[in-house]
Amino acid sequence: MKPHSSCGRVSAALLAAAWLALLAGCAGSLLPKPAAAPARFTLDNGNAAAAVRLPAADAPALVVAVPRAAPGYDSTRMVYLRRPQELEAFAFHEWVGTPAQMLAPLLVRALQDSGAFRAVLLAPSSASGPLRLETELIRLQQDFSTRPSHVRLTARAVLMDTATRQVVAWREFDETVLAPTDDPVGGAAAAHQATQRMLAALASFCAEQARR
């Protein structure tokens, strides 16, 4: 009887272990899986800038205020439209920072590369200059109401006299670029192209005003 009893206890233990392993496997499969990290995009593709123009000896310095953003465009969400006035955001794609934050260093680089300014400083800065540039991002969105989809970037720039706080000149820039693909990746590519066009136009505008 003893050998039989010992075998029974071993079989029961093995059965219990197998049952616990099965329960653990089932419980693991029922637990929610962590959400995948979103794909993150930037407005700058990292390519080398064009040849820098050397400023004239009497070129003014320019202080660039950190860009502001209109409501709806002040987060890292990649915004798109399917119907007029209804903003939506992609669930698994986003910007690495807010569009305004990403634009700030790009503005400084484009303005410095224009050669129209002795120095271009991002506010706040301990240094100052006779001119100050304030910008506002009005919209940055991918529009799917037509196909192919397109990205629209609109920004307003105001150039001011630092001493008097008077407006020297202002202009609104509006760029529309067709997306190469109707998805967030295509939208990011189109947004980069629209940004480059806007930066070139804005730098040219500021350079023209500085020469006057």
Supply the pLDDT for residue 87.
96
At residue 61, the pLDDT reads 95
Residue 206 lies in a domain: yes
Full-model pTM: 0.80
Residue 1 pLDDT exceeds 70:
no
What CATH number does residue 125 fall under?
3.40.50.10610
DSSP 52: P
Domain encompassing residue 122: 39-211
Output the CA torsion 195→200→201→202 (10° steps). 80
Which pLDDT does position 128 carry in this prediction? 79
> Rounded mean pLDDT of 181-191?
97
Categorize the per-residue pLDDT at 129 as very low, low, confident or very high, splitting at 50, 70 and 90.
Answer: confident
In a domain, 2, yes or no: no
108 belongs to a structural domain: yes
Band the pLDDT of 36: cuts 50, 70, 90: confident
Higher pLDDT residue, 146 or 19? 146
Structure tokens at 118: 């002795």
Give the tens place of pLDDT for each residue, 42-95.
998 776 555 667 787 789 999 999 999 999 999 999 999 999 999 999 999 999
Determine the Cα–Cα distance for residues 77 and 89; give it in Å rounded to an integer: 6
Residue 157 CB-density burial (10 A; 0-12 exposed, 13-18 middle, 19+ buried): buried
Q: For residue range 16-32, list pLDDT tens digits in order.
A: 666 666 656 665 555 66
Q: Is residue 19 one of the residues assigned to a domain?
A: no
pLDDT reported for residue 127: 75
**Would you say residue 122 lies in a domain?**
yes
- Residue 28 inside a domain? The answer is no
Q: List pLDDT tens digits, range 100-124.
A: 999 999 999 999 999 999 999 999 8
How many domains in the chain? 1
What pLDDT is stored for residue 23 in this prediction?
A: 58
| Confidence grade of residue 173 (pLDDT, cut at 50, 70, 90) | very high
Helix (H, G, I), strand (E, B) or coil at 162: coil
Higher pLDDT, 57 or 202: 202
pLDDT grade for 9, boundaries at 50, 70 and 90: low
Residue 3 lies in a domain: no
- The answer to whether position 180 is within a domain reads yes
Closest alpha carbon to 42 in 108, 87, 88, 101: 101
CA-nearest of 200, 158, 211 to 175 is 200
